[in-house]
């Protein structure tokens, strides 16, 4: 092979190094400085998130997103130093964004719902919530899914997209909650006497809030009975145990005083047809 060919190759390579060599050095320096700045920035961000007591799932998401954005910006700067056109970067990121968005449509909806839940906090881990006909204690809140545990020990995992777009009944957000006992009595029952029995029974429970006295009211005059509501207040965490105990205690107190819960009755009249036979 001709010696002049190798001479030309050598000359072209040296010219390339002369032209792009400084840019490579600048790019390496920028890379090292960028990595150092990113590490410092992430350390500061972690300290801020820890002091602000942000949810763990949201903290992880913010850290991951920040790292992605910072390194993306760093590579963008390095590419610019090496002579790569900005339009090429934008085209690559745009195409990647469209492809990821189409492939993960459902997950992105759950992701957005998870961010809303973690930011606005309609509930937190340990709360008793009712959502989408499911009642249970929140076990875990991830960026995509929320997990609750029902009273009968079932674990239900719900997509955050559905949860964030539904009505969430948080039953432990407030520290106090009212118990309503719906009872029925016959028309012959003495309401004042019934009220006295029930209030005395409710007040005896050690876990009711004493500063809010129990009360009993005639709620509705039904077709066959009087409908009465008895109410008392408890701490939210004690709601169900106290509800069942109070219901049982009221039933026993009514039995002891000879007051029975009415059974619907219907009077049936039979009309007799008298056939007159004319002889």
- pLDDT digits over 57-85, tens only? 667 667 777 887 888 888 878 877 777 66
| pTM reported for the whole predicted model | 0.59
- pLDDT digits over 148-174, tens only? 999 899 999 999 988 988 999 999 889
Structure tokens at 203: 């007040």
* Angle at CA of residue 98, ends 96 and 100, nearest 5°: 65
In DSSP terms, which residues pair with 176 in a beta bridge? 235
What is the pLDDT averaged over residues 27-42?
Answer: 87
Please give the DSSP secondary-structure letter assigned to residue 68.
H
pLDDT bin (cut points 50, 70, 90) of residue 267 is: low
- Checking if the pLDDT of 273 tops 60, the result is no
Domains and CATH numbers, the chain: 3-103 (1.10.287.1260), 121-170 (2.30.30.60), 176-256 (3.30.70.100)
* Angle at CA of residue 108, ends 104 and 111, nearest 5°: 135
Residues whose CB falls within 8 Å of the CB of residue 84, separated by 6 or more in sequence, listed in order: none
**Residue written as tokens 């992701």?**
111
Label the pairing between strands 226-235 and 215-221: antiparallel
- pLDDT digits over 225-245, tens only? 899 999 999 999 899 999 999
Structure tokens at 35: 């990595």
Residues 116, 164 contacting (CB under 8 angstroms): yes
* Angle at CA of residue 247, ends 246 and 248, nearest 5°: 90
Rounded Cα distance between 101 and 65, Å, is 16
- Checking if the pLDDT of 106 tops 90, the result is no
| Axis-axis angle for helices 56-81, 105-120 (nearest 10) | 120
Rounded Cα distance between 133 and 158, Å, is 12
* Distances from the Cα of 76 to the Cα of 45, 87, 243, angstroms: 22, 11, 63
Average pLDDT along the chain: 82
């Amino acid at each position: 092979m001709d010696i002049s060919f190798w001479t030309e190759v050598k000359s072209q390579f040296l010219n390339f190094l002369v032209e792009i060599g400084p840019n490579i050095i600048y790019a390496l320096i920028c890379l090292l400085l960028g990595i150092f700045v990113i590490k410092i920035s992430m350390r500061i961000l972690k300290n801020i998130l820890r002091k602000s007591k942000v949810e763990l799932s949201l903290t992880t998401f913010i850290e991951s997103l920040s790292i992605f954005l910072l390194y993306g910006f760093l590579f963008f700067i390095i590419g610019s130093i090496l002579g790569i056109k900005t339009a090429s970067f934008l085209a690559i990121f745009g195409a990647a964004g469209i492809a990821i968005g189409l492939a993960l449509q459902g997950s992105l909806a759950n992701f957005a719902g998870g961010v809303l839940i973690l930011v606005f906090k309609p509930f937190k881990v340990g709360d008793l919530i009712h959502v989408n006909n499911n009642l249970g204690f929140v076990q875990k809140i991830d960026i995509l899914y929320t997990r609750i545990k029902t009273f009968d020990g079932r674990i239900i995992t719900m997509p955050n997209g559905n949860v964030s777009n539904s009505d969430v009944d948080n039953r432990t957000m407030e520290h106090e909650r009212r118990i309503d006992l719906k009872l029925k009595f016959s028309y012959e029952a003495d309401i004042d006497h019934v009220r006295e029995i029930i209030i005395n029974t409710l007040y005896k429970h050690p876990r009711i809030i004493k500063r809010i006295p129990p009360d009993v009211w005639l709620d509705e005059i039904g077709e066959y009975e009087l409908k009465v509501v008895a109410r008392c207040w408890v701490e939210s965490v004690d709601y169900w145990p106290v509800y069942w105990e109070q219901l049982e205690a009221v039933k026993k107190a009514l039995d002891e005083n000879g007051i029975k819960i009415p059974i619907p009755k219907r009077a049936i009249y039979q009309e007799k047809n008298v056939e007159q036979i004319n002889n």
